Amino acid sequence: MKPLEGLLVLDFSTLLPGPMATLMLAEAGAEVIKIEPPTGDAMRSYEPKWGQDSAIFAMLNRGKQSLAVDLKDTKALNEILELVRKADIVVEQFRPGVMDRLGLGYAALSQINPQLIYCSITGYGQIGPRAGDAGHDLNYAGDTGLLALSMGDVSHAVLPPTPIGDIGGGSFPAVINILLALEDRRRSGSGRHIDIAMSENMFVFSYWALAAGFSTGRWPGNGTDLVTGASPRYHVYATRDKKALIVAALEPKFWTVFCDVIGLREALRDDEMDPLATMMEISRIIASQDSLTWSQKLVGRDCCCSLAAGLEAAVADPHFAARGVFAAQVVNESGDSMPALPTPVIAAFRMNCEGQLNAPSLNVGSLQIAENSKHAKTN
């Protein structure tokens, strides 16, 4: 039995933060009913298409049920309220006040179901001067100083490779706090309203910079610190064939091995003396050989160095294959299958009690919009 089996989740969210959070709840056994407008979640139309819906939509919404509802229709709203009476969790990510105006805010629903755990995911939270502001992930990274720590030259700034705010500031905190609220409800018998503000949750990723700024008054700048490009020990170097060699040899034991592998002369091994000189010499050495040569030289050398893999190559890595990371499949209405998104919840249940790998049984179809108040399980 999965730990959340028997719990009912009503998911009013769209796009990424809420759907990824409820995906993890579904992976842990909860029944998730995704409430969509009559035309469907906008993400269904995203490219690339995979069957009748987008591939992204299929990845984020497998294992859920779908209910197409016009929330402004009184009859449909009453039917939603009947579901609320049986629900354990509600997840929504409208701007503050929208659910209240629809008659679906926490104050109204908690009167119907006092044990309801109601999770609101927004950019800036339910209260505060910016609570009603529009924003997306990049705004949250910029608003909280995270982007300024390592974006390079602003004329061609380097953007984060993933929506950190949506996932790290929205989905993960939502799941964590929902689970905490479930434990609290088990003890107290009462539900609660959870206010997830994606922007403020970005500050946790700057823990090291905040520690420096608060303790010394000297705030890290753009690429000026240990983990943002200023250290030769934590850097990306270009090989002769323009591949990326990742060096993360922070500890002395790793740094010593790395210096031995590349043959860095003794005068530059104390990188605190002249970090720039050390970095320039390492750049010259790495650029003198191609990636295959460095790959061969690093075999068996324990120094936290590796060549950056493309995503296609990473997915095919024998290590991830051996651990069954992409073993689960999602199946659409045409019977086509592709690997399911490996959430942290899947990872937790991938091993059986003997420590052997299990292939998760997550072969589900793409969601079908149900008519009016009827909801349809995935194929």
Catalytic residues: 166
Signed CA dihedral, 67, 70, 72, 78: sign only: negative
Q: Which two tokens stand for residue 84?
A: 């609320």
**34 three-state secondary structure:** strand
Q: 19 near 341, Cβ under 8 Å? A: no
**Cβ 121 vs Cβ 198: under 8 Å:** yes
Collect all residues with Cβ–Cβ distance below 8 Å to 299 and sequence separation of at least 6: none
The kind and range of the H/E element at 188 are: helix 172-188
Whether the CA torsion 25, 29, 31, 36 is positive or negative: it is positive
The CA distance from 331 to 364, in Å, is 5
Residues 335-371 as b or e (16 or more Cβ within 10 Å = b): eeeeebbbbebbeeebeeeeeeeeebebebbbbbbbe
Query: What is the Cα 340 distance to its own chain's centre?
Result: 15
How do strand 89-92 and strand 65-68 relate by DSSP bridges?
Answer: unpaired
DSSP sequence for 72-83 = T-HHHHHHHHHH
The alpha carbon dihedral of 312, 316, 321, 327 has a sign of: positive
> Closest by alpha carbon to 284, among 345, 240, 249, 253?
240
